[in-house]
Amino acid sequence: MSEIRKDPISHTWVIISIERAKRPSDYTKASAENENGQLSENCPLCKEAAIPPPPNDPWSGIAKERNNQWVTRVLPNKFPALKPDVSLAQKEENGFYHSLSGVGGHEIILDSLNHTETLSQMKLSQLEAMLLTYQTRFFRWKLDHRISYVLIFRNYKKAAGASLSHPHSQVIASPIIPPRIFEELREAKEYYKLHRECIFCRMIRDELKLRVRLIYQNPSILIFSPYAARFPFETYIIPKKHLASLEETDKKTLKDLSKAFKFLFSRLAEVLSDPPYNYMLHVSPLKTPGLLYYHWHIEVIPRLAMPAGYEFGSGIFINPTSPEEAAKILRKKENDSSAT
């Protein structure tokens, strides 16, 4: 059973994940593996996707009615960081150290059945299906009263932490609100109290006015590189309209979001030779519908620079490419719907 531990000094949360337990030799072995070592005939996700959808299953992915095949597929992670069949309990060690039981959920989303398809290659309809599948996870985990937060993320390529090469995203449902979200919520709330405006809406307004960090826009979605970008070519994807969570986001916005994905991941692939990346969905917590001060967004970080001693020791990031320069490079001049 996993344990969610809290550091008594920095208050950092850590999931000590026994299901994923490794011995020293596993770490040194893993580093010798090939990036594309996973062949599609041996891919466990391809195998799972070949099993046809069962009837009346609202939570396991999107299926085509026509031929009863999966379009996207949701599976429990075989080595879950958190598990649902555990009861929520607190533990204390020596009156000083505190932990929670590792209750929660950890899912894999097959973003496509095509083993080698990248986001830049996907059709808009497939991207849309992927985003709709993301949305279902919030509806699913809302049914579990122990869960406070659902974080959806995608690790692409081994250098970005992916251990499977099949196109996939991940979902971690946790009993705690993650600290990075908590801090955003706290600051956004403070800003709202003072200015009666969502801080993200303000940021969108500023970026649309200043234009120096703007990368792309369509009727619902904006892409820009944030002012204090931690990583080279870090970008934010955000709905222009105030929306706190993916649950309350309509189909039209998701359609425009799929177009924004197509644009950004094609540009990243072109400009940076199909780089490894992570992206993370930041949404409001499950039990707080319609927040006026929080605004969902997606943080995309190509893995080009290595966070090292200074970043880990200080919490300060050193970014050798200014967001203005990154935006200039990612903007596509000939594209009608682009920002310029």
Q: Binding of a second copy at residue 292 (CB under 8 A)?
A: no
Q: Binding of a second copy at residue 14 (CB under 8 A)?
A: yes
Pairing state of beta strands 61-63 and 13-16? Answer: unpaired
Q: Binding of a second copy at residue 299 (CB under 8 A)?
A: yes
Residue 75 has a CB neighbour count (10 Å cut-off) of 16
DSSP string, 29-76: HHTTS-TT---GGG-HHHHHHHSPPPTT-TTSEEE-TTT--EEEEEEE
What one-letter code names the amino acid at 18?
A: I
The pair phi, psi for residue 44, each rounded to 5°, is -65, -25
Q: Binding of a second copy at residue 194 (CB under 8 A)?
A: no
Residues 205-224, mask of contacts with a second copy (x by CB under 8 A): -x--xx--------------
Among 185, 156, 104, 165, residue whose Cα is nearest residue 269: 156
Give the nearer residue to a second copy in terms of CB position, either 1 or 46.
Answer: 1
Give the nearer residue to a second copy in terms of CB position, either 63 or 296.
Answer: 296
Q: Binding of a second copy at residue 275 (CB under 8 A)?
A: yes
Q: Which stretch binds a second copy (CB under 8 A): 14-22, 122-130, 237-245, 249-257?
A: 14-22
Give the nearer residue to a second copy in terms of CB position, either 53 or 146.
Answer: 146
Q: Binding of a second copy at residue 8 (CB under 8 A)?
A: yes
Q: Binding of a second copy at residue 272 (CB under 8 A)?
A: yes
Q: Binding of a second copy at residue 245 (CB under 8 A)?
A: no
Give the nearer residue to a second copy in terms of CB position, either 97 or 139.
Answer: 97
Give the nearer residue to a second copy in terms of CB position, either 187 or 250.
Answer: 187
In whole angstroms, the minimum distance from the beta carbon of 298 to a second copy comes to 10
DSSP state of 163: S
Which of 62, 208, 271, 292: binder of a second copy (CB under 8 A)? 271
Interacting positions 251-270 with a second copy (CB under 8 A): none
Q: Binding of a second copy at residue 316 (CB under 8 A)?
A: yes
Interacting positions 59-98 with a second copy (CB under 8 A): 81, 93-94, 96-97
Cβ distance 195 to 231 under 8 Å?
Answer: no
In whole angstroms, the minimum distance from the beta carbon of 301 to a second copy comes to 6
Cβ distance 100 to 4 under 8 Å?
Answer: yes
For a second copy, how many residues bind (rule: CB under 8 A)?
A: 93
Q: Directed axis angle between helix 323-330 and helix 251-271, to 10°?
A: 100
- What is the SS3 assignment for 126? helix
Integer-rounded Cα radius of gyration of the chain: 20
- Angle, CA 108 vertex, CA 106 and CA 114 arms, to 5°: 175
In whole angstroms, the minimum distance from the beta carbon of 249 to a second copy comes to 18
Give the nearer residue to a second copy in terms of CB position, either 129 or 162.
Answer: 162
Which of 60, 77, 112, 155: binder of a second copy (CB under 8 A)? 155
Residue 324 has a CB neighbour count (10 Å cut-off) of 14
Q: How far apart are CA 300 and CA 322, in angstroms?
A: 15
Q: Binding of a second copy at residue 192 (CB under 8 A)?
A: no
Taken as a whole, the chain contains a residue count of 340
Q: What's the gap between Cα 99 and its chain centre?
A: 25
Q: Which stretch binds a second copy (CB under 8 A): 61-69, 123-131, 134-142, 196-204?
A: 196-204
